[in-house]
Amino acid sequence: MEDSLEKKRITVLAVDDSLVYRNLLRSAFSQDPEIEFLGAAIDGKFALPKIAHLKPDFVVLDVEMPEMDGLTTLREIRIQFPETKVIMLSSLTMDGAKVTLKAMEMGALDFVSKPDGVTAGAEKISEALSSLIEKVKALHSKNGINKPVHVVHRQNEISFRPPKRKYSICAVGISTGGPIALRELLSKIPSDLNGTIVIAQHMPPVFTNYLAENLSSCTALGIKEVEDGELLKKRAVYIAPGGKQLEIMQSPEGPVAKVTAGPQEELCKPSVNILFNSIAKNFSNESIGVIMTGMGEDGYLGLKAMREKGSFLLAQNQESCLVFGMPSRPIKEGLIDEISDITGIAEKISALMG
């Protein structure tokens, strides 16, 4: 019986050149009863034989390593062990952000920002490790453990919407799996969009600025990390800054961004709920709300507020989500007007704001 339970645990191998972080990862994973920590390697050269032998479910992979770095190792993992899932550990630097987003394009599922093991406080390191463990579990559940969600269809279907209603602003909430999903979404939206798209992607500081740069290669729409007080233009996409909160306000000239430190008790920065609530308050029935792949329930309360104000709500379907957390409850409770894959969401946004 014990052997049977042991096999059900999620197996993890860590690859990091820092002895401090190898010990931290070993301690954190070993304390979780759902995870079996298989060991650690100092770089990709030592990791690849271990992966071949141990066949872990997950490899937690440092970005910066001297002999065989994270990208080179990831490339080999994708070729030699395509079933092995990879989560990157990334430093909070622009170089770290660039390499991490490149890693996600190459097949890494997600990343966790890596506080400096020497200077960072114990609380920040603990938060990063907790986030990593949560992501391992959530991404593992994608492998058939998630049960299908019962979809509650709204009594008033899409046809009740006035066909000539003007939708001027679209707010998107997204988290785990976001960079790749956003690339697919924005590549399918035409450049003559008659409105503005605003995105809250769960990411730390620095990363969102480079995310905007990274996504600009896949769309003809203008895209940037939004600044406090910035007047939002049509045919443009704005990304909420990592580590900050974004609200969209009305002004005589049009929608304007308000970027703040936000309430300290809010765990997500940027928070989808805060963005959605501001859209509900200031743009009522001329807005579209979109909830996409991600862990947790951020965005649920904001969607309720948008529903009450007459916004049109879209959700990514379970089949196309990397993690079906954020869309799950809004769908279950019948808040959503239309549920679709990423292509369908792009087409609907284009039609409503065309």
Catalytic residues, by residue number, are 175, 202, 298
- The C-alpha atoms of residue 306 and residue 314 are separated, in whole angstroms, by 11
For 281, what's the count of Cα atoms within 13 Å in the CB-facing half-sphere? 12
Q: What would the two tokens of residue 113 be? A: 């920002």
- The C-alpha atoms of residue 286 and residue 284 are separated, in whole angstroms, by 6
* Helix H or strand E segment including 339: strand 338-340
Nearby residues of 77 by Cβ (< 8 Å), 6 or more positions away: 48, 51, 59, 61, 84, 86
* Helix H or strand E segment including 88: strand 85-90
- Pairing label, strands 169-174, 196-201: parallel
Asked if 307 and 277 count as a contact pair (C-beta separation under 8 A), the reply is no
With 0-12 / 13-18 / 19 or more C-beta atoms within 10 angstroms meaning exposed / middle / buried, residue 76 is middle
* Helix H or strand E segment including 100: helix 94-105
H-type helices in 142-286, by residue range? 178-187, 207-215, 272-283
- Residue 313's alpha-carbon distances to 303, 334, 354, in angstroms, are 8, 10, 17
Q: What would the two tokens of residue 353 be? A: 């704001």
